[in-house]
Structure 1
Amino acid sequence: MKLGDEIPNFQADSTAGPIDFHKIIENSWAILFSHPADFTPVCTTELANVHKLEPDFKKRGVKLFALSCNDTESHKAWSCDVLSYYKGTVKSEKPEATGPVSETELAFPIIADPDRKLAVTYGMVDPDERDAKGLPLTCRAVFIIGPDKKLKASLLYPATTGRSFAEILRVVDSLQLTAVKKVATPANWEPKKKAMVVPSLSDEKATELFPNFDKVSVPSGKGYIRLTDKY
């Protein structure tokens, strides 16, 4: 999939029951993130961290969906391990999430994909990682989906590298800001820090939208770096 493509719809079973993906997303932002397999160590740490951060995603109107190439019964059993790891390790880690989460039920569904159809459809298969039967595993994929059901951002990690979901939250903040404001976010941007006026705006129009923006002096003399915190 390319950025801007409508994400494929699917029907599948999950730990929360049957899912029609387009229907359950409705008009919300959503994230679909895949895992190589149930009962694997890195995946367990990731799900526990996402469980903790679910209130932060919910505050931003983002629905979360995990996917792994196992069946629903396996997912349910694995969820017990994830919750145990959350209670024993992740719950006490900083920074705190914006609200409490359950200690008995995961805050998001895990979608079943035992035949790997969804993994293939979404391009999640990692050719270098295989299970005990020699079947390819999914990579650590992240698909951030807008309310229009179009792909807004995607990230691909190998099975050996766990993701930073704090960074994914930051990406969501940037996407949601730049979807409604004529700004872009610079390197290492965080909410409430200065953003950049998009190059397509003239200085006159930029002054209307962002009074007193700062123009950074560079050797070329071109005033293309324009910063504002009034967005």
Structure 2
Amino acid sequence: MEAQFTIMPRIGDQAPDFEAMTTTGKIKFSEYIKGSWTILFSHPADFTPVCTTEMSGFALEKEFFASHDTKLIGLSIDSIHSHIAWVNNVRKNTGVLFEFPIIADIDMSVSKLYGMLQPGESETAAVRAVFFIDPTGKIRLMMYYPLNVGRNMEEIKRALIALQTADKYKVAMPLNWTPGEKVIVPPPKTVAEMQEREASDYEMVDFYLAKKDLP
């Protein structure tokens, strides 16, 4: 059988726009995300165990995301009635309320637009995708997980802070970087810049790899 390929947005693309019904009402995505960071994430289905732990994880980190100027929005291929019943069920059983909007993508249109439907995994359920979108509406980072492996909330938080820090200070992050650690300074583009670097207080591995502390 010939393989089927899903068209997916890429890092650096503008986030595809759409209108959809959510648990907080109808939205136009470009208006919802305007001017702030946004994390769009999909889950395979309501009333499933792994998805419940993940959505609860996002809900419990409400203050963290708010403090980092980041909106949340979920999605699955379920009806709005299923979403609301699930939200209510989780609130009653655990006390956790999903206050962020959850898209009811019953016709799969948004899932297809974002490459969340991957036939090799499932043709009827969205994989566990995570899209980091910056205040200009540009996709900056994407994560995809299979149906049977939950995401890592600490990595999602770390990645968000890394993106925001890189933008603010025009730097890059080394392997396993966490907030408070040294960052990588962009490599020199001229001999003069190289000489300036050698005379700086940077942690020099070599002229092309230098680290510094942030303020």
Q: TM-score, normalised by structure 1?
A: 0.82
1:86 and 1:179 map into 2 onto residues whose CA distance is 37
The equivalent position to 1:148 in structure 2, one of 114, 136, 152, is 136
Residue aligning to 2:90: 82
1:200 to 1:8, Cα distance in 2 relative to 1, 3 A? farther
> The residue matched to 1:126 in structure 2 has which SS?
coil
2:79 and 2:197 map into 1 onto residues whose CA distance is 53
> The residue matched to 1:127 in structure 2 has which SS?
coil
Residues 3-30 of structure 1: CA deviation (Å, up to 9, x unaligned): 1100111111110011111111121100
> The residue matched to 1:183 in structure 2 has which SS?
coil
2:111 and 2:17 map into 1 onto residues whose CA distance is 13
2:136 and 2:69 map into 1 onto residues whose CA distance is 14
Deviation at 1:230, TM superposition (A): 2.9
Q: Is 2:101 the counterpart of 1:109? A: yes
Please say which of residues 144-153 and 192-201 is displaced more in the overlay: 192-201
Q: Is 2:13 the counterpart of 1:21? A: no
1:85 to 1:156, Cα distance in 2 relative to 1, 3 A? farther
Deviation at 1:205, TM superposition (A): 5.8
Name structure 1 gaps, 5 residues minimum: 88-102, 217-221
> The residue matched to 2:81 in structure 1 has which SS?
helix
Contact 1:129 1:136 in 2 (8 A): no
1:1-231 alignment runs, 5 A limit: 1-84=9-92, 86-87=94-95, 103=96, 105-130=97-122, 135-200=123-188, 202-203=193-194, 212-216=201-205, 222-231=206-215
Contact 2:172 2:185 in 1 (8 A): yes
Deviation at 1:179, TM superposition (A): 1.3
1:223 and 1:45 map into 2 onto residues whose CA distance is 46
CA RMSD of aligned residues (A): 1.9
Contact 1:33 1:140 in 2 (8 A): yes
Residue aligning to 1:99: none
Q: TM-score, normalised by structure 2?
A: 0.88
Equivalent pairs: percent with the same residue?
Answer: 39
Residue aligning to 2:5: none
Deviation at 1:107, TM superposition (A): 2.6
Deviation at 1:148, TM superposition (A): 0.7
Contact 1:14 1:111 in 2 (8 A): yes
Contact 1:48 1:86 in 2 (8 A): no
Number of aligned residue pairs: give it.
204
Name structure 2 gaps, 5 residues minimum: 1-8
Contact 1:10 1:20 in 2 (8 A): yes
